[in-house]
């Protein structure tokens, strides 16, 4: 297990470094988030033993169980919530996570802001954009973005770091790039309007190169690290 993970981790880092070089991104400008949804706590412990400390999770209950199982081992892990957020789950998310990538409406940001404990640093958030306009997909529509981002940037207990998107899956590189370029343009417009944003959370196992080509600073990788999900 550990060995498998270490081999996959090195392969993913090779892809990241190759993409940084190919698309003139500074070396080390892309962070790797390991998406550990549905993986047992033992897999996370093995990943940490291989040097991976940041984990993305989609389901709150499952994550709390894994956090409890891993707490005994005393590892300093950084937890990122990346799944759909129901309003009744915001308190636990605000208390237990360092990052939330899937904030898709102001109401959720306001709840996270109100519920972030004072002894913790502000919660890092990314605003999720519905880039492919799929009705089934979560995420804010482009037209709502500027006002929502401005309002979120003023909340003191959260820190709006940038945008997140999950484009409609395609294996065609040019189409992947086009979707990610849209996200980058939206981010650039917010920055031009005065917001301080430094994170573009985009790219998964099948499209990380296209995401890095378009400025991703954080790729969220599941299958390529842990193997295909059941």
Ligand X SMILES: *Cc1c(COP(=O)(O)O)cnc(C)c1O
How many residues of this chain interact with ligand X, rule: CB under 6 A? Answer: 13
Beta-carbon count within 10 A of 198 CB: 10
**Angstrom distance (rounded) from CA 28 to CA 45:** 24
Q: Which of residues 65-94 bind ligand X (CB under 6 A)?
A: 82
CA distance 217 to 88: 30
Piece of 1-9, 63-71, 142-150, 201-209 that binds ligand X (CB under 6 A): 201-209
- Residue 171: CB minimum distance to ligand X, A: 12
Token duo for residue 160: 């709006």
Contact status: 204 vs ligand X (CB under 6 A): yes
Other beta carbons less than 10 A from residue 93's beta carbon: 24
Q: Does 166 bind ligand X (CB under 6 A)?
A: yes
DSSP-derived secondary structure letter, 53: -
58 belongs to the binding site for ligand X (CB under 6 A): yes
Contact call for residue 222 and ligand X (CB under 6 A)? yes
User: Which listed range, 63-71, 112-120, 188-196, 200-208, lies at the site for ligand X (CB under 6 A)?
Assistant: 200-208
Q: Which stretch binds ligand X (CB under 6 A): 3-11, 43-51, 188-196, 218-226?
A: 218-226
C-beta of 149 vs 208, nearer to ligand X? 208
Residue 140 interacts with ligand X (CB under 6 A): yes or no: no
* CA separation for the pair 212, 32 (Å, rounded): 11
The answer to whether residue 35 forms part of the interface with ligand X (CB under 6 A) is: yes
Please give the biggest Cα pair distance in the chain.
47
202 binding ligand X? (CB under 6 A):
no
Residue 109 corresponds to which tokens in the numbers above? 């940001």
Closest approach of Cβ 202 to ligand X, in Å?
Answer: 9
SS3 129: strand
Distance CA 56, CA 80 (A): 5
| Binding interface with ligand X (CB under 6 A) | 35, 37, 58, 82, 166, 204-206, 220-224
């Amino acid at each position: 297990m550990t060995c498998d993970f270490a081999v996959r981790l090195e392969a993913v880092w090779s892809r990241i470094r190759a993409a940084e070089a190919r698309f003139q991104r500074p070396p080390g400008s892309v962070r790797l988030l390991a998406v550990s949804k549905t993986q047992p706590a033992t897999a996370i412990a093995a990943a940490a033993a291989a040097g991976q400390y940041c984990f993305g999770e989609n389901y709150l209950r499952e994550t709390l169980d894994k956090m409890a199982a891993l707490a005994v081992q005393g590892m300093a892990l950084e937890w990122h919530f990346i799944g759909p957020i129901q309003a009744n789950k915001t308190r636990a998310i605000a208390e237990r996570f360092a990052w939330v990538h899937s904030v898709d409406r102001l109401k959720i940001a306001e709840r996270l802001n109100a519920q972030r404990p004072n002894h913790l640093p502000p919660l890092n958030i990314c605003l999720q954009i519905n880039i492919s306009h799929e009705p089934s997909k979560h995420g804010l529509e482009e037209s709502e973005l500027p006002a929502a981002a401005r309002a979120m940037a003023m909340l003191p207990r959260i820190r709006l770091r940038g945008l997140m998107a999950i484009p409609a899956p395609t294996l065609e590189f040019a189409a992947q790039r086009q979707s990610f370029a849209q996200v980058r343009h939206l981010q650039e417009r917010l920055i031009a309007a005065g917001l301080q944003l430094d994170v573009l959370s985009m790219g998964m196992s099948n499209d990380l190169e296209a995401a890095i080509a378009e400025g991703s600073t954080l790729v969220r990788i599941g299958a390529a690290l842990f193997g295909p999900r059941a």
